[in-house]
A = this chain, B = another copy of it.
Amino acid sequence: MKILRSVDEVRAQSSAWRSRNLKIALVPTMGYLHAGHLSLVQQAREHADRVIVSIFVNPTQFGPNEDLDRYPRDFARDEQLCSQAGVDAVFYPEPAVMYAPDHSTWVLEDSLSQTLCGASRPVHFRGVTTVVLKLFNICGCQLAVFGRKDAQQALIIQRMVRDLNVPVELILAPLVREADGLALSSRNKFLSPEERQQALNIYKGIQQAKETFRQGCRNAAELIAPLRQRITDAGGKVDYVEVMAQATLRPLTAIDQPALLAVAAFFGKTRLIDNLFLEV
């Protein structure tokens, strides 16, 4: 497995592969890998001949009061996990490799990114779409894999690819959970044992909403209210609990089209997200 640090190294590797007609998949990550990331690598291996994992804690998707500095990092462990997972190359750039001091060009999705995490984190998705397009261009990949855990991100990247005619096929992979149901996240390590137990109520509340939906309820408020209550009762602070149309990410009152139940909540200082895709 190769560790590539510069744009030129990645381009040389990618060109060599492409000249042999090998299909390249990219799995963009911020590192501190867990089984969720490895499931994306697995999908990439199934659909392409070579897999690049990028590991880059992208500063432009963090707001000034967010957790850029304390975002967890452990490259030695990530490298070992990638190698065991059959990754062909890891792109691990320094921030200066990715952003010139006078960087001034942004990719901005201005509709789907207005709600949910976009409302709470105003520059977040601008940073995500910008870095993802850069990574696509650097890696020359024909395929990229994103997780549905970051549901809004996945839908925004789908939109970007469509709107800018980006020649990359997307695979959106299912959310992966711990044995007890908590959605896997690099930020779970910040939870105290007590918060970890409390946070499980996000999952339990989503399961309850899923059952309510399965029984035929199409009233968004009836899915939202109990979930919100459950998180609050458990000591969490709700950022949002919403039911949105998948096509627009605007709130639905009646669930009459493909929808997304999306949750963000703080337990202690740690912000967690989870979701459920509702297909009608």
**Stoichiometry, copies per complex:** 2
Contact with B along A102-124 (1 / 0, CB 8 A): 11111111111000000000000
* A interface majority secondary structure: mixed
A101 to chain B, nearest CB (A): 11
A104's partner among B130, B138, B159 (CB-CB below 8 A) is B159
Task: Kindly state whether residue A133 has any CB partner on chain B within 8 Å.
Answer: yes
Q: How far is the CA of A108 from the CA of B107 in the complex (A)?
A: 6
- Residue numbers in B under 8 Å from A165 (CB-CB): 7, 134, 137-138
A105/B100 in contact, CB under 8 A: no
Cα A107 to Cα B112 in complex, Å, equals: 16
Q: How far is the CA of A133 from the CA of B167 in the complex (A)?
A: 12
Q: Are B137 and A167 in contact (CB under 8 A)?
A: yes
Chain B residues, CB < 8 A from A134: 163-165
- Contact in complex: A105, B108 (CB < 8 Å): yes
Asked if A129 is at the interface (CB within 8 A of a chain B CB), the reply is yes
Chain B's nearest CB lies how many Å from the CB of A39? Answer: 27
| Chain A contact residues, CB within 8 Å of chain B | 7, 11, 100, 102-112, 129-130, 133-134, 137-138, 140, 159-160, 162-167, 248
